Amino acid sequence: MEEHYISKLHPTWDYGAGVFLLFIAILTILGNSVVLAVAVKRSSHLRSPELLTVNLAVTDLGMAISMYPLAIASAWNHAWLGGDATCIYYALMGFLFGVSSMMTLSVMAVIRFLVTHSSKSNTMTIITCYFGIAWKVHKTYQEMQNFNRISSAAKLEKKLTLMAILISVGFLSAWTPYATVSFWSIFHSSESIPYIVTLLPCLFAKSSTAYNPFIYYTFSKTFRHEVKQLQCCCGQKIHFFNTKNSINSRVSVIWPGGGDIHIYSAPKTDSGNIPNQ
C-alpha cells in the first residue's frame, strides 16, 4: 500500500470517525427511505415543488449508500482501501451527489423567492434568495399582525419558507468548514493544517445528509401524519403475520363426545401429526 494512503491520525480517531459515519449512514438511510416511502404513498397528490424534496432525499441516500461504506471501512482499516481506483470513484460520487444537492437547493430557493414575491453561483443564489424571502415574509407577517388577520395560508407559507431556509442553512453550515479547509489547501501547503483539523470538517459535512427528514417531521404536519400511518401499517402487517403463523401452527379437529360434535384447535407436532387427547 502506498504511504500517502495510510492514515496519519491515531487509530482511536479513525475508529471514532468510523463509528460516527456509521451512525450518520444509518440515520440517513432510514430517514430518507421514509421520505421516499411517503412520496410513493402520496405520488398522486405530490405537487411540483415537493418533487424537489424527493430529489434531495435521493441525492442524500445515494451519497450514504455509495460513499459511506467505503469511508467507514477505510477508517477502521486505518488506511484508504482500494488505492487510486476507489479514490477516483469516491471523488466522482461526492461530486455527482454534492452538485445535485446544491442545484436542488438553488431551485428550491428560487421557487420560494418567486412565490413570496408575487443569476450567480449556487451559494450566492441560495443566500440572496433566502435573504429576500426572510425579509419579505417578516414584513408581510408583521403587517398582517397589525390588522389581526393572519390567514392559515399565510401561516403555512411562513412555515414552508422557514423549512426551506433551515434545509439550505443546514447544508451551507455543514459544508462551509470543509470548503474553507479545501480552499486553504489549494493555495497553501496542506502540511500546514493539523490532521485533526482536516478530519472534523469532513465528518461535519457528512452530517448534511441526515437531518433533512427531521426538519420535514418537525415542520410538516402532512409528513408527520403520513409517517404515523406508515408506522400503523407496519404494525398491522407484523400483527397479521404473527396471527397467521399462530393459526398455521394449529389445526382444527372434529371429534364426537357424548353424542355431540365438538371442534377444538390442537397444535401440530414437528412431524405434522396431532397429539392424542
Question: Where do the structural domains in the chain lie, given as residue ranges?
Answer: 3-219
Element (H, E) at 263: strand 260-267
**Contact partners, residue 96, CB within 8 Å, separation at least 6:** 62
Residue 11 has pLDDT above 60, yes or no: yes
pTM for the whole structure: 0.70
pLDDT of 129 reads 58
Predicted pLDDT at 257: 43
Note the pLDDT tens digit of each residue in 142-163. 555 555 555 555 566 667 777 7
Rounded mean pLDDT, 162-167: 79
Question: Which one, of 79, 84, 35, 42, lies nearest residue 60 by Cα?
Answer: 35
Please report the sign of the dihedral spanned by the C-alpha atoms of residue 208, residue 211, residue 213, residue 219: negative
Residue 140 clears pLDDT 70, i.e. is over it: no
> What's the pLDDT tens digit per position in 203-222?
999 998 998 899 888 888 88
Q: Does domain 3-219 have CATH number 3.40.50.150?
A: no
Q: What is the pLDDT of residue 6?
A: 86
CA dist 182 → 51, 125, 197, 266 (Å):
32, 21, 11, 70
Sequence-distant (6+) residues with CB within 8 A of 200 are 177
Least confident of 29-38, 92-101, 159-168, 244-253: 244-253
